[in-house]
Amino acid sequence: MKNEIILITGASGCVGQYIANWLIENSTSELFLWVRDPKKITSINLENPRIRILVGDLRESNKFKKEISEVNRVIHTATAWGDPKRAKEVNIDAVKNLLNLLNPSNIKQIIYFSTASVLDRNLNLLPEAFTYGTEYIQTKAQCLRELESHELATKIIAVFPTLVFGGRLDGKSKFPTSYLTEGLRDALRWIWLARWIKLSSRFHFIHAADIAFICGHLATSDFEPVQPFSATKIKKLVLGQPYTSIDVVIQTLLIWKGMRRVPQIPVLTWLIELLTILLPIQMTNWDRFSLRQKHFIHEPVTSPETFGGISHAKTLSQVLHNSGLTKH
């Protein structure tokens, strides 16, 4: 029996490399890795006969018509932000072009990466994502809306990562470091000030290794997400651990740093908004909405435990331990 072919876009990124590495180690699938710069792939031996590298921009899908028509599954992690024109071209137009080049008789599954920021607590699209969102948020929301009526919608599993950790700060990981993990040094640097602040905002996080486990399981098993309350054809999975809070983050960092707790001062939303007016602090409309939203939590969330697995980093303490962050 011929091995399946899995196309991974954005395969040189943090999440893309964790997924590709998991599939190499835990499946027999052939991998088409679509990247702009193969030199950025640090975690995989590119000489592996199961790997084929497609070098090009996501907007150049016609360049790979033949290869795309051969694939059985797609894991689409590539994305763009910053420039509104490029965000639309990559996050909406290129996604639709890619889907149009798939062979309906070959394609079994499309795992489409979005962001949990565009969803409300019950996994419905947030209207505010269209009204206040940055170019990244707006294009991700718009693409999801358009995919819901696509002819391949029943084969799409949309995954929505929460805050993503990955890689290490000490250079001891073969994987790239995520933006959030990169920010841990600054968080630790300012913990002496943050320990006086009380913020109850709640959120989810997930490690890229756990995202890889979930996507790998979806791509190599017959698991079908059950969503009895969903009115759309697309299946939705928010990827994250049970929610935590900024207060817990602060206390975890204090323990890591070996600093004692102090009496905390509650910080009110109106006070923060006033400070942004009085001080030279730039905030987007999405920043202001997020500030008022306060809690970014979802039900249900999906982790490796959903599939009977064990998370690589289920707690913030495990995240710090796996990050290579200096303890004291």
Beta pairing, strands 73-76 & 109-113: parallel
Paired strand residues for 239:
161, 302
Whether residue 96 is found in the same domain as residue 108? yes
Q: What is the mean pLDDT of residues 309-318?
A: 96
Whether residue 193 is found in the same domain as residue 208? no
- How many angstroms from the chain centroid is the CA of residue 114? 7
Establish if 327 belongs to a structural domain: no
Q: What is the mean pLDDT of residues 125-148?
A: 95
Report the distance separating Cα 256 and Cα 29, nearest Å.
41
Whether residue 38 is found in the same domain as residue 111? yes
Q: What is the pLDDT confidence band of residue 289, given thresholds at 50, 70 and 90?
A: confident
pLDDT at 291 over 90: no
Report the distance separating Cα 159 and Cα 19, nearest Å.
13
Establish if 317 belongs to a structural domain: no
pLDDT digits (tens, 9 = 90+) for 253-262: 999 988 888 8
Q: Residue 296: what pLDDT?
A: 85
Establish if 175 belongs to a structural domain: no
Whether residue 217 is found in the same domain as residue 127? yes
pLDDT > 70 in the chain, percent = 91
pLDDT digits (tens, 9 = 90+) for 241-278: 999 998 899 999 999 988 888 877 776 554 455 545 54
Lowest mean pLDDT among 89-93, 165-169, 229-233: 229-233
Q: Residue 139: what pLDDT?
A: 97
pLDDT at 230 over 60: no
Whether residue 35 is found in the same domain as residue 81? yes
Report the distance separating Cα 286 and Cα 33, nearest Å.
33
Write the DSSP assignment of 84-113 as a string of letters: HHHHHIIIIIHHHHHHHHS-TTT--EEEEE
Torsional sign, CA 299, 303, 305, 310:
negative
Whether residue 138 is found in the same domain as residue 87? yes
Whether residue 10 is found in the same domain as residue 49? yes
Q: What is the pLDDT confidence band of residue 281, given thresholds at 50, 70 and 90?
A: low
Establish if 326 belongs to a structural domain: no
Whether residue 15 is found in the same domain as residue 105? yes
Q: What is the pLDDT confidence band of residue 224, given thresholds at 50, 70 and 90?
A: low
With 0.85 as the threshold, say if the pTM is over it.
Answer: yes
Report the distance separating Cα 303 and Cα 319, nearest Å.
15
Whether residue 10 is found in the same domain as residue 103? yes
- Spatial contact of 156 and 147, defined as CB atoms under 8 Å apart: yes
Establish if 323 belongs to a structural domain: no
**Between residues 315 and 191, the one the model is more confident about:** 315
Can you give the residue range of the structural domain that contains 98? Answer: 5-165+204-240+298-310
Whether residue 76 is found in the same domain as residue 160? yes
| CB atoms closer than 10 angstroms to residue 65 | 10
Structurally, the chain folds into a number of domains equal to 2
Whether residue 124 is found in the same domain as residue 109? yes
Q: What is the CATH number of the domain that holds 121?
A: 3.40.50.720
Whether residue 18 is found in the same domain as residue 102? yes
Q: Residue 270: what pLDDT?
A: 46
Cβ neighbours for 144, distance < 8 A, ≥ 6 positions apart: 114, 118, 125, 158, 234
pLDDT digits (tens, 9 = 90+) for 136-146: 999 999 999 99
Establish if 186 belongs to a structural domain: yes
Establish if 176 belongs to a structural domain: no
